[in-house]
Structure 1
Amino acid sequence: MKKEGLLRQGNKSALMAAIVNAVISVIKGTAYIFTGNVAMFAETMHSLGDSANQFFVFIGSALSKKRPTDRYPNGFGRVVNLVLLFAVIIVGIMSYETIKEGIHHIIHPSESTGLWINISVLSAAILLEGYVMYKAMKEVIRETNSQAKGIAIIPKSFANLSKAKPATKLVFMEDLVATSGGLIAIIGILLSYYAGLHAAEGIASIIIGAMMFYVVGRVFLDNAKGVLGEADDELEAAIAAYIFTNKEIKDIKALYAMKEGEDYHIEMKLEIEPDISVGQAIEIKERIENYIQAMPAVTDVIIEFEEDDHVPTWNKGNPNPVP
């Protein structure tokens, strides 16, 4: 597959977020240079970090779609998890700088200028980041096969966020923090300007940095699981429920739904009666494969048959691993 074609398969939400945050970081950085506002510095670092790692996410999600090769027969699905682990390092560094600057401002508070420049820039940034977050919400709804329209998209996207693809989840979380961080920065600036609480800008910077660290922690843990290979219990249960609608299947000896990057690898061992012919077994296998491969993000299905031993094996709460 050509590089141009590969990039077209990258996560569109991540690319849009990267572009928007790059523009926002330039605007915020310019405002910080003219006003010296520490809360604006925090927001500049935040948007810059978001833009950088969202671009990495876009590249990683595209590379994860690369077809398997002789050297890498299992494909590149987990590349997106590795890229996201690298991306959180960038956010972690930005978080540290943001908190450090906030602490410095609390110890040595100073009055900043350009109130309306800061408020205007932050308000515009909140609107843009809110728009990107709403697009990420719609992507969550699409990826999780949920049904929601209009205002219902907001609560539904939060409820299904854990089931979304890693790249979409990162964009969602970063823009949620970015939007709320903008509001916190505005509050800190207003308290500093009207109440004379100049340390409020430093406190706002620390809160923003702490929220960034929260995203770092969540993304790191989620993608560490992805790199190691995480089983999806809900998908396994859904597949098992369908398998038992096939009267020829007497038991499930093993069922394994492994998440690899943004895709799922399904492997199972099923028990059937010994008098079923080879032709019937092939028909059953194709029927189950077609049904499972029609599920979102499922790319590979491996099915093995064994003779029914008349001993119930499948336990929905504690399924056996594939040997």
Structure 2
Amino acid sequence: MSKKQSLLKNGNKSSLIATIVNTIIAIIKGVAFFFTGNVAMFAETMHSLGDAANQFFVFIGSALSKKMPTENYPNGFGRLVNLVLLGAVLIVGIMSYETIKEGFLHIQHPTESKGIAINLSVLGLAAILESYVLFKAMKEVLHEAHVEASGFAAVGKSFSHLGKATPATKLVFMEDLVATLGGLIAIIGILLSYYGGFHAAEGIASIIIGIMMFYVVGKVFLDNAKGVLGEADEDLENKIAEFIFTNPEIKDIKTLFAMKEGEDFHIEMKLEIEPNLTVKEAFQIKDRIEKEIQSIKGVTDVIIEFVEDDGVKTWSQGLVSN
């Protein structure tokens, strides 16, 4: 197996599934729009196209972020997935603009669309497929958060633990949640237009779908901007601090960083120890702490520095002094 193939195997699985499913959905919706001219179907076509392209870049970015450090890039490629996602949201932003623009044009010049049977059939099928991808993303969220749940219990728990998911999984989750809701909104708009004579409803549905897409753009942009800058994970820092203080030789924590590097974590700390410890004893303590922290899923490297205890308490519960 080539290095490229081996690297792609490490890509985010939920984003790969979403790419394939959304490509199929986009083609089906595009064909339906071509024959019916329904503006709500146009909005859904653009939405699915944007999602497919976006999630493809997510898959590639998540795979490349697993690449091992090189001489030129000794810190690795962890944050590459954040950079790719920042670029990918531009695609969704353009799609969102086009969707909202078409919605306004339809409201200004409402026309009766045709082929209600085709539109409803396609949107119904798309909703089923997108719900499947969404559920797979929910399961991936729970897997990355180390939470056990099955059936409908997985739905609620996935929302409450979404913040612990990787950037790629979080994006797939949000995009397919919006896609599923967007399909239902499009169906409502078509029904109001066809049976209620309210033809502008399709344009309104298109605008709502576009606004929802913009929300995803904003949310993903902010989350991944933090990742590019190197966001600290306070929960992980506190978890590590609790373990460190189970070692009686450690008197205080001077500094402790748990920095997100894409989907992984870089841990760096400065610990205060008893001044009468030998070098051999200090190395044994260091190895013990490193081994335990490296067993945490997602942690790729740990840097520990020891200094003599200065008698001044720096660490207090729930607060890391950086």
Using the size of structure 1 for normalisation, the TM-score is 0.98
Name the residue aligned to 1:302.
303
Of residues 307-316 and 224-233 in structure 1, the stretch that sits farther from structure 2 once superposed is 307-316
Name the residue aligned to 2:39.
38
User: Which amino acid in structure 2 is aligned with residue 250 of structure 1?
Assistant: K
Name the residue aligned to 1:61.
62
Matched, 1:287 2:260: no
Deviation at 1:200, TM superposition (A): 0.2
State whether residues 238 and 320 of structure 2, in contact with CA within 8 Å, keep that contact through their aligned partners in structure 1.
no
Of residues 36-45 and 307-316 in structure 1, the stretch that sits farther from structure 2 once superposed is 307-316
2:112 and 2:273 mapped to 1: Cα distance?
77
Name the residue aligned to 1:158.
159
- In the TM superposition, what whole-angstrom CA distance separates every residue of 1:263-283 from its partner, at most 9, and x where no partner exists? 100000111101112222112
Matched, 1:10 2:11: yes
2:117 and 2:19 mapped to 1: Cα distance?
26
Name the residue aligned to 2:102.
101
Name the residue aligned to 1:134.
135
SS in 1 for 2:303: strand
1:317 and 1:278 mapped to 2: Cα distance?
30
Name the residue aligned to 1:76.
77
1:14 and 1:45 mapped to 2: Cα distance?
18
- In the TM superposition, what whole-angstrom CA distance separates every residue of 1:89-146 from its partner, at most 9, and x where no partner exists? 0000000000000000000000001101100100100000000010000100111111
2:231 and 2:141 mapped to 1: Cα distance?
20
Residue-pair matches, total: 321
2:37 and 2:90 mapped to 1: Cα distance?
26
- Cα RMSD between the aligned structures? 0.9
- In the TM superposition, what whole-angstrom CA distance separates every residue of 1:260-308 from its partner, at most 9, and x where no partner exists? 1111000001111011122221121111111111111110100111111
**Identity rate, percent:** 72
Name the residue aligned to 1:173.
174
Name the residue aligned to 1:259.
260
2:288 and 2:122 mapped to 1: Cα distance?
57
Q: 1:211 to 1:200 in 2, by over 3 A?
A: same
1:280 and 1:99 mapped to 2: Cα distance?
66
Structure 1 ranges of 4+ moved more than 4 A: none
Name the residue aligned to 2:232.
231
Name the residue aligned to 1:250.
251
1:147 and 1:20 mapped to 2: Cα distance?
26
Matched, 1:196 2:197: yes
Using the size of structure 2 for normalisation, the TM-score is 0.98
Deviation at 1:318, TM superposition (A): 4.1
- In the alignment, structure 1 segments of 5+ residues that lack a partner are none
1:129 and 1:296 mapped to 2: Cα distance?
29
- In the alignment, structure 2 segments of 5+ residues that lack a partner are none
Deviation at 1:316, TM superposition (A): 4.0
SS in 2 for 1:65: coil
